[in-house]
């Protein structure tokens, strides 16, 4: 390989790791019939004029397998938190008890499980697109180096195959995580 051109494959992998981490966060927000504090992470509350994560307006707890509670710190925020949960699309009906909002997690029916597997598939596709965009950035760097004369045609092929190899590895990880998450959702 040429001494003049050096593609930063570590940077590509670091960015792809970021896409995988983002996918994990999105998967954690999908309900699988078990209560988890992470399912509320994507829910934002209009608090004091700005959109704020729920965990910054109250304490989120999981006291039992099918119950999540939110102890809202500011009594004036209880209604806004409840509204944010209702409008979040999580399919949970909040119950108020003073400043504590209880979220009983209902059993998932077959139709809802199927919907959630489709949502998981969409999340995985977004992650794949992110990986492909990072791959394209790497390929563009290689083409620019080739155009500038810093890279021979043989070296270009070697670098392109290395970028493609990294991409394939990350796409396989996404597919593996999607399969695991879909199996978890469909588990009764």
Contact (CB, 8 A) for 71 and 61: yes
Contact (CB, 8 A) for 88 and 101: no
Number of folded domains that form the chain: 2
The CATH number covering residue 120 comes to: 1.10.132.20
**Are 181 and 113 in the same domain?**
yes
Supply 162's token pair: 């290395």
Per the domain annotation, does 3 fall within a domain?
A: no
Domain end, chosen from 81, 104, 127, is at 104
> Is the pLDDT score of 136 beyond 90?
yes
For 68-111, how does the pLDDT look when each residue is reduced to its tens digit (9 = 90+)? Answer: 999 999 999 999 999 998 887 777 889 998 889 999 887 778 88
What is the pTM assigned to this prediction?
0.68
The CATH number covering residue 50 comes to: 3.30.1360.40
CA distance 88 to 119: 14
**Are 20 and 46 in the same domain?**
no
| Domain ranges, residue 113 | 9-27+109-186
CA distance 112 to 114: 5
3-state SS assignment for residue 100: strand
Q: What is the mean pLDDT of the chain?
A: 88
> Is the pLDDT score of 30 beyond 50?
yes
Task: Detail the DSSP E strand segments found in 13-66.
Answer: 44-47, 50-53, 58-64
For 31-80, how does the pLDDT look when each residue is reduced to its tens digit (9 = 90+)? Answer: 666 777 777 887 889 888 899 998 899 999 998 888 899 999 999 999 99
């Amino acid at each position: 390989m040429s001494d003049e051109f050096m593609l930063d494959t570590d940077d590509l992998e670091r960015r792809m790791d970021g896409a995988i981490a983002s996918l994990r966060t999105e998967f954690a927000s999908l309900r699988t019939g078990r209560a988890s504090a992470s399912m509320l992470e994507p829910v934002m509350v209009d608090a004091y004029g700005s959109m704020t994560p729920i965990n910054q307006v109250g304490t989120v707890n999981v006291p039992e397998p099918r119950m999540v509670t939110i102890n809202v710190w500011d009594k004036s925020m209880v209604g806004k938190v409840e509204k944010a949960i209702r409008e979040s699309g999580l399919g949970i009906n909040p119950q108020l008890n003073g400043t504590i909002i209880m979220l009983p997690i209902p059993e998932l029916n077959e139709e809802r499980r199927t919907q959630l597997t489709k949502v998981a598939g969409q999340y995985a596709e977004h992650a794949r697109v992110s990986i492909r965009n990072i791959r394209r950035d790497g390929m563009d760097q290689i083409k620019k180096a080739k155009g500038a004369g810093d890279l021979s045609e043989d070296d270009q092929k070697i670098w392109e195959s290395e970028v493609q190899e990294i991409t394939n590895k990350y796409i396989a990880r996404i597919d593996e995580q999607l399969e695991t998450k879909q199996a978890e959702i469909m588990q009764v």
